[in-house]
Amino acid sequence: MRIKQIKIQNYRTLENVEVTFNGYYTAISGKNNAGKSNIVRAIKTLVDSRLHFRIRGNSITGISNFNWKEEVTSWKIDKKEDIKITAVFEIIKDTDTEIYKYLTEMIFKNELHADSSSESISLQLSFAKTFTNDESYTVIINKDELTDNYKKKELIKRLQTTEFLTFHNSTMNMFGPFDDSMDRMVDFISSSDSDRISKKKEELLNLIRKSLKSHQQKLTGWLGKLEEKYEVSLSVQGLNFEREPIDISLKEKGGDVTLDNWGSGTRNRTLIFLKLFNAVKRAQNESDTDRIKPIIIIEEPESFLHPQAQAEFGRVLQDLADELKIQIIITTHSPYFLSIKSPFDNILLERTKNKNNPCTSLVSPNADGWWKPFVDALGIKAEDFGPMKEVIFNGNENILIVEGTIDKGYLEFLQSHIHGANALRTDIEIVPINGVGALKNTVWVSFIKRKFKNVCIMIDLDMSTDFIKSLESAGFKKGNNLFIVGTKETPNIEGYVPADILSQVTSENPNITRKLMNNKEAKEGRDELKSKLLKKFVENNTTCGLENFYKLVKDINNAYK
């Protein structure tokens, strides 16, 4: 299943918030008390299977301790407005068969808009609570509203017991007595294996009963020495594999180390992977009546993890969401868990500064504001962020950051097959940042260094003095993943261009020489010279006189091995 949209009104800080979920991975970010956890609470209020509902008359009531006055937006108490939560879910025929068949073959068996041949159906579930604590649900399937109270109650009960939502709060005690992270043995056993285990279990129980007979005779004899006579009966409750928890261990140096003896970060990460594993298993269940692909909601998956581990885990979670086609929604303070595949999969929340109405609002992730979640999470100024969209949302594992499009042009030419063994690897993505100002910001550079598996930076020699300290403090090292180009005479990449090409360009464009000699036109002249040099360099399609370029290529290629 997938949640496509949720609209929340008058619930805690969420006076009127509407969130749309686009891809399989969504990161909800924002400062403390921005309202991230309130969105999770609202979803749980609507559909969490662990919240027990009671059916009374024609209404569905009784989320434990859910009182309107305690949950309503505080500045709305006097207005006595309803709390309303509405969510739209997509139910997919092949992977959510348990609910899909229930809706199409039982609830809406004869309805035109719930055609059982369609690949998916839409379920809109709305919950409202009044100031008198009266509750009501509205259910719409595709275009049809479910008005039959009996069917509505049965559907709500079915949703509550289906467990199509899995929650994991990384900050809570992960091994408490009521923790839902502890998985039962039965959850890992297929139905065919379960039948074979049941037969073996009965054989084992018979052996146990036989063994107990001799002990009960001995105990009966001992009790016979008392004045009051007793006869002992020994039995077993059964081998309750259904209730038996799974012990999780991780191997280290050839031995098993139980999970509760590992650090909190390792434990938390392992339990999150277990949630994913169980979600896949449920979607592949042999029985139609039990097959469903749950939505996974994780609060603060970065908890207890070092930034480098956060960067790695963030990449893995996003890759698995797309690979397994499982919806993962997280709340996070970490920039490493923001989506690097789509800017519109990052949701930034903030609280208004109005003391009388400090409600949560959604910062729209539009084309102009895609960077806001990153700036907020990294704690840097917007003007220091720079034009980094191409870097952050690049899907390639091998990233080479260069200053501008001119540098990119030279390197792309060096990726041509005409250079043979001297060619730059074609699996390296060359990304220009149109300036180097952001490279002074150690926080941003460290984020990029950790975020991508293989990232290198190339800067001009005349810029290196200003940026070398921040780059090295972030983990970049000259000759390893930091490349400085240019010569003493020409401290930029144009210093590697063969002299004959430079002569051709200057002789063919005397106006450029004139501009270079005029202080007011010097910058314009340099820009023109750079463009024409690159154009002539590519047009000549030469492999002669490229020794400096080839040495640079060799160093860069080695960095990505």
pLDDT on residue 112? 47
Contact 333, 29 (CB under 8 A): yes
| CATH at 81 | 3.40.50.300
Higher pLDDT, 331 or 385: 331
Q: How far apart are CA 394 and CA 288, in angstroms?
A: 39
Burial class of 226 by CB neighbour count within 10 A (0 to 12, 13 to 18, 19+): exposed
346 with 402, same domain? no
For the cut 50, the answer to whether the pLDDT of residue 62 exceeds it is no
- The DSSP bridge partners found for residue 85 are 8, 127
Please indicate, yes or no, if residue 253 is contained in any of the structural domains: no
> Given pLDDT bands bounded at 50, 70 and 90, which one contains residue 238?
low
Give the whole-number percent of the chain exceeding pLDDT 70. 84
- On the question of pLDDT at 451 being above 70, the answer is yes
pLDDT band at 407 (very low <50, low <70, confident <90, very high): very high
> Comparing 121 with 202, which gets the higher pLDDT?
121
Look at 503 and 561; give whichever has higher pLDDT. Answer: 503
Say whether both 151 and 221 belong to one domain: no
Report the pLDDT value the prediction gives residue 387, as an integer from 0 to 100.
66
Residue 35 region by backbone torsions, left for phi larger than 0, else alpha for psi between -120 and 50, else beta: left
Residue 244, classed as helix, strand or coil, is: coil
| Distance of alpha carbon 315 from alpha carbon 308, whole angstroms | 11
For 62, how many CA atoms within 13 A lie in the half-sphere containing its CB?
13
174 plus 109 within the same structural domain: yes
Gyration radius of the chain over CA positions: 32
Residues 428, 487 within the same domain? yes
Is residue 550 one of the residues assigned to a domain? yes
Chain length of the chain = 561
Are 343 and 431 in a shared domain?
no
pLDDT top residue among 115 and 357: 357
Q: Is the pLDDT of residue 181 over 70?
A: no
Is position 26 within any domain? yes
- From its phi and psi, is residue 429 left (phi > 0), alpha (psi between -120 and 50) or beta? beta
Residues 337 and 25: their CA atoms lie apart, in Å, by 10
Examine the domain organization and report whether 319 and 174 are in the same domain.
yes
43 & 169 share domain: yes
Closest CA to 22 of 392, 346, 362: 346
The answer to whether position 271 is within a domain reads: no
Looking at residue 237, what is its pLDDT?
Answer: 65
Question: What pLDDT does residue 245 have?
Answer: 62
91 and 228 together in one domain: no
Looking at residue 424, what DSSP letter applies? P
Q: Are residues 452 and 553 in the same domain?
A: yes
Q: What gap in Å lies between CA 313 and CA 450, rounded to an integer?
A: 11
pTM of the predicted model, to two decimals? 0.80
pLDDT band, residue 402 (cuts 50/70/90): very high
Question: Is 333 in the same domain as 456?
Answer: no
Give domain status of residue 336, yes or no: yes
Of 461 and 175, more confident: 461
Q: Sorting pLDDT into bands at 50, 70 and 90, what band is 228? A: low
483-536 pLDDT, tens digit per residue, is 999 999 999 999 999 999 999 999 999 898 888 888 888 889 899 999 999 999
User: For residue 15, what pLDDT is reported?
Assistant: 93
Any domain includes 459: yes
Residue 251 falls inside a structural domain: no
Q: Rounded to whole angstroms, how far apart are CA atoms 33 and 413? A: 51
Name the one residue in this structure whose structure tokens are 């539009």: 366
With 0-12 CB in 10 A as exposed, 13-18 as middle and 19+ as buried, what is 401? buried
Give the number of other CB atoms < 10 A from CB of residue 511.
10
| pLDDT attached to residue 177 | 35
Specify the range with the lowest mean pLDDT, choosing from 206-210, 279-283, 361-365, 499-503: 361-365
Which residue from 25, 41, 18 is spatially nearest to 364, judged by alpha carbons?
18
Residue 337: is its pLDDT beyond 80? yes
Of 163-177, 275-289, 525-539, the poorest mean pLDDT is in: 163-177
Contact 10, 81 (CB under 8 A): yes
Label residue 241 by pLDDT band (50, 70, 90): low
Q: Do 60 and 148 sit in the same domain of this protein?
A: yes
Cα–Cα distance measured from residue 497 to residue 66, given in angstroms and rounded to the nearest whole number: 72
Q: What CATH number did the domain enclosing 449 receive?
A: 3.40.50
Residue 50 predicted with pLDDT over 70: no
Counting beta carbons within 10 angstroms of the beta carbon of residue 67, is it exposed (0 to 12), middle (13 to 18) or buried (19 or more)? exposed
Q: What is the number of domains present in the chain?
A: 3
Pairing of strands 14-20, 2-11: antiparallel
What pLDDT score was predicted for residue 191? Answer: 66
The residue among 60 and 86 whose pLDDT is bigger is 86
Phi, psi of 501 (to 5 degrees): -70, -40
Residues 99, 91: Cα–Cα separation, whole Å? 7
Residues of 25-55 as b/e, b for ≥16 C-beta within 10 angstroms? Answer: bbbbbbeeebbbbbbbbbbbbbbbbeeebee
Statement: residue 51 has pLDDT above 60 = no
Q: How confident is the model at residue 184 (pLDDT cuts 50, 70, 90)?
A: low
Angle subtended at Cα 312 by Cα 556 and Cα 339, rounded to the nearest 5 degrees: 95
Whether residue 49 is found in the same domain as residue 150:
yes
> Residue 43 and residue 246: Cα distance in Å, rounded?
28
Tell me which residue range forms the domain holding 454. Answer: 385-498+542-559
Q: Does 143 reside within a domain?
A: yes
For residue 125, pLDDT beyond 50: yes
State the pLDDT at residue 58: 42
- Of 244, 260, 277, the position where a domain reaches its end is 244
- DSSP structural state of residue 103: I
